[in-house]
Amino acid sequence: MDPSGIGNDCKNEFCIDNLIAARKSLKLCLEKSKTLGLALEKAGPRLEEINQRLPSLEAAVRPIRADKDALVAVGGHINRAVGPAAAVLKVFDAVHGLEKSLLSDPRNDLPGYLSVLKRLEEALKFLGDNCGLAIQWLEDIIEYLEDNRVADGRYLLNMKTSLKGLRELQNDGERVHLDGGLLDAALDKLENEFRRLLMEHSVPLPMSSPPLGEQACIAPSLLPVTVIQKLQAILGRLIANNRLEKCIAIYVEVRSSNVRASLKALDLDYLEISVSEFNDMQSIEGYIGQWGKHLEFAVKHLFEAEFKLCNDVFERIGLDVWMGCFAKIAAQAGILAFLQFGKTITESKKEPIKLLKLLDIFASLNKLRLDFNRLFGGAACIEIQNLTRDLIKRVIDGAAEIFWEIFVQVELQRQSPPPQDGSIPKLVSSITDYCNKLLGDDYRPILTQVLVIHQSWKHKKFQEMILVNEVSKIIKAVDLNLDTWMKAYGDTTLSCLFAMNCHWHLYKDLKGTKVGELMGDSWLKEHEQYKEYYSAVFFRESWAKLPVHLSREGLIMFSGGRASARDLVKKRLKTFNEAFDEMYRKQSGWVIPERDLREKTCELIVQTVLPVYRSYMQTYGPLVEQDASSSKYAKYTVQGLEQMLLSLFLPRRERYGSFKGRPTGSKIDNGVDLRRTASAVA
């Protein structure tokens, strides 16, 4: 055998053995790696848990590593910081213990509710006062721990963040955050209870009886004492929490609404009338009388009661508060509307009657002067004071201006034409009545006071007789107007009728009046004499001329000549009829307004004309009665003529339906024929 071959075989066997050994070794390593992987997989969560626990372990170990002196001192610092913080937390827990009571309805137990609310306020005050101190102590201990490296840095960082948030809350109004809004909710409930108490006991004042203006006593307080006490108790808590303005707003809203409801029954829509909405003073004259009564009622009964009630409810707070509250109620309830209406009257067109209405307004305001000064005299009522002063000034200036213009206006009327029907000019009748009112007991003292004030504003001394002297001057100006107007008529008879009307009016209507007393008996007697004089002239120049046309002269001579007598009678009757018709036509449009003067005048005309006509027709009527044309001459019956004469001078409103003369042959409504035979005339 070849030795080299044997050697190669030995080498191959050695290599195989090595490979087998290496394979076994690798297999063993793989098994170990797999076992190690499984072990590592199981150890992972444990390592994570250990990693999470390391910071706390490190923090727990840190004090051991800290300086010994720092560790000794830290206990005192912690105790000082934890004490206030623990007290704050204890009170905070107590605050939340009050929540159930404070979210209940105050009306069930108002004293108890207010007591609990006060405890809440005290707790919040404690928290407000001590939270800052507790935060300061905690900040100090954190700073100490940080400086001495006694605590963990992350722990300190979390503490700093928390304390920073608390400090920001404190600066932003810690009360809201400390109680979670509980105090505000409780205060809102108290406000609602305040409103409820007011509304349930605020009832409009009844207006049914007694009649307006006759109520002698001032209306009492409209709230029971127990309710006022509750309102004051609620006010105490709300004021302590800076809610006074809200309380006043509620009070003003409820009470002013109650006053408006009381006034609504008076129907005060007229207070909203503007200057452009009425044509003349007569259209709102009645409202001015109502205005005075309504204003007096509002001041003496409604506003007086509110004034007293404001004092009762808010007296503990101070004069300025309750006076300010009352001022708002008065303004919102309608006192300004009353004053504005008065101002509207002063801005209206100037008319004589406006003077009387301005005096009425002044009298109403003057009657309430003391009440206005007492109720609205405070600084809070400055708007009402200004409007009242402005109204009084406007009233006095306007009244004085109209009064001094009366004489001028009377003189200006002198240039206007007199009435075409001879009646009394409206100026004469109105100015005499007007002056009587100015001198009467109702207006004279008021007008005198107005003139005194107006003169004082102009730094002029008031003369005692200035009023009567001015009225006397006005009446004398009317006399001059009458003389001028008489001369303006082209017809003398109409001029006499006009003079008769006016002089009789001045005599009769002014006798026994203030103006009549002022002008004197001789002045009145003079007008009576003028009336008689012009009445005589009127008859002489008109109706007294008619009987002349019925002359009997010459008829006796023709007693034997019937035809000639008939012709003469016809001629004279025709002349009479023509004269009568012309006179009646002209004077049927004339007017005598005074009934007694008219009846007396008509009766005198009848007495002047009718007896002559009756006698003439009785004697000579038969001469023309049988004539075919008798209606041309025997035109009127005695009865018809009398009725025609008695219907003269009626004012236009009385003429409708009155009898007027009718020609012969016509019939009046009762069917009686006016034409009579001469022998039948009585």
Residue 72 counted as domain residue? yes
Residue 43 shares a structural domain with residue 74: no
Report which of 497, 525, 522 is spatially closest to residue 424, judged by C-alpha positions: 497
Q: Is 667 helix (H, G, I), strand (E, B) or coil?
A: strand
- Please, which pLDDT band fits residue 632 given cuts at 50, 70 and 90? confident
Can you give the pLDDT at residue 214?
A: 47
Average pLDDT estimate for 382-387: 95
Residue 79 shares a structural domain with residue 163: yes
Residue 442 counted as domain residue? no
Burial code of 553-591, b = ≥16 C-beta within 10 A, e = fewer? eebeebeeeeeebbebbbebbeebbeebeebbeebeebb
Taking the mean position of all CA atoms in its chain, how far away is CA 626?
82
Q: Please name the residue that has the structure tokens 């002239």.
A: 537
Whether the per-residue pLDDT at 320 is higher than 60: the answer is yes
Can you give the pLDDT at residue 557?
A: 47
Can you give the pLDDT at residue 349?
A: 84
Of 87-101, 248-262, 297-311, 493-507, least confident by mean pLDDT is 87-101
Residue 261 shares a structural domain with residue 404: yes
Residue 199 shares a structural domain with residue 162: no
- Please, which pLDDT band fits residue 122 given cuts at 50, 70 and 90? low
Q: What percent of the chain has pLDDT over 70?
A: 70
Residue 227 counted as domain residue? yes
d(CA 259, CA 253): 10
d(CA 518, CA 88): 94
d(CA 138, CA 159): 9
Whether the per-residue pLDDT at 500 is higher than 70: the answer is yes
Segments forming the whole domain that contains residue 60: 17-64
Average pLDDT estimate for 496-501: 96
pLDDT tens for 570-585 read: 888 899 999 999 999 9
Question: What pTM was estimated for this model as a whole?
Answer: 0.70
Of 120-124, 207-211, 222-226, 475-479, least confident by mean pLDDT is 207-211
User: 673 phi and psi, to 5 degrees?
Assistant: -75, 125
Q: What percent of the chain has pLDDT over 90?
A: 46
Residue 307 shares a structural domain with residue 400: yes
Residue 340 counted as domain residue? yes
Q: Which amino acid is at 513?
A: T
Residue 529 counted as domain residue? no
Average pLDDT estimate for 317-327: 91
DSSP for residue 504: H
Average pLDDT estimate for 318-325: 90
Higher pLDDT, 280 or 351: 351
Cβ atoms of 151 and 145 closer than 8 Å: yes
CATH number at residue 244: 1.20.1280.170
pLDDT tens for 26-74 read: 778 777 777 777 776 776 676 677 667 666 655 554 554 555 555 555 5
Whether the per-residue pLDDT at 542 is higher than 90: the answer is yes
- Please, which pLDDT band fits residue 210 given cuts at 50, 70 and 90? very low
Residue 135 counted as domain residue? yes
Other C-beta atoms lying within 10 Å of the C-beta of residue 61: 11
| Structural domains in the chain (count) | 4
Residue 60 shares a structural domain with residue 74: no
Taking the mean position of all CA atoms in its chain, how far away is CA 494?
54
Can you give the pLDDT at residue 297?
A: 92
Average pLDDT estimate for 377-402: 95
Tokens encoding 281: 């003073």
Residue 548 counted as domain residue? no
Whether the per-residue pLDDT at 595 is higher than 90: the answer is yes
Average pLDDT estimate for 673-679: 32
Decide: residue 399, CB within 10 A, 0-12 exposed, 13-18 middle, 19+ buried: buried
Residue 142 shares a structural domain with residue 232: no
Can you give the pLDDT at residue 675?
A: 33
Higher pLDDT, 590 or 657: 590
Residue 286 shares a structural domain with residue 191: yes
Report which of 216, 365, 358, 378 is spatially closest to residue 307, judged by C-alpha positions: 378
Residue 73 shares a structural domain with residue 147: yes
Long-range contacts (CB closer than 8 Å, 24 or more residues apart) made by 120-124 = 120/95, 120/179, 120/182, 120/183, 120/186, 121/183, 121/237, 121/240, 121/241, 123/91, 123/94, 123/95, 123/98, 124/95, 124/175, 124/178, 124/179, 124/183
Instruction: Write down the mean pLDDT value for the chain.
Output: 79
Q: Is the peptide bond before 204 cis (omega within 30 degrees of 0)?
A: no
Other C-beta atoms lying within 10 Å of the C-beta of residue 123: 20
Tokens encoding 166: 């608390």
Average pLDDT estimate for 304-310: 93
Can you give the pLDDT at residue 185?
A: 83
Can you give the pLDDT at residue 111?
A: 86
Residue 333 shares a structural domain with residue 390: yes
Whether the per-residue pLDDT at 328 is higher than 60: the answer is yes
Whether the per-residue pLDDT at 143 is higher than 90: the answer is no
Please identify, among 409, 429, 452, the residue that sits at the C-terminal boundary of a domain: 409
Residue 146 shares a structural domain with residue 199: no
Average pLDDT estimate for 116-122: 70
pLDDT tens for 505-535 read: 999 999 999 999 999 999 999 999 999 999 9
Please identify, among 8, 41, 64, the residue that sits at the C-terminal boundary of a domain: 64
Other C-beta atoms lying within 10 Å of the C-beta of residue 86: 10
What pairs with residue 673 in β-bridges? 667
Residue 279 shares a structural domain with residue 257: yes
Q: Is 419 helix (H, G, I), strand (E, B) or coil?
A: coil
Of 152-161, 357-366, 465-474, least confident by mean pLDDT is 152-161
Residue 361 counted as domain residue? yes
Can you give the pLDDT at residue 372?
A: 95
- Please, which pLDDT band fits residue 669 given cuts at 50, 70 and 90? very low
pLDDT tens for 444-496 read: 999 999 999 998 998 887 777 889 999 999 999 999 999 999 999 999 999 99
d(CA 288, CA 310): 31
Can you give the pLDDT at residue 656?
A: 40
Please identify, among 64, 94, 121, the residue that sits at the C-terminal boundary of a domain: 64
Helices (H), 66-152: 68-97, 99-102, 110-147
- Please, which pLDDT band fits residue 335 given cuts at 50, 70 and 90? very high
Other C-beta atoms lying within 10 Å of the C-beta of residue 546: 19
d(CA 375, CA 368): 10
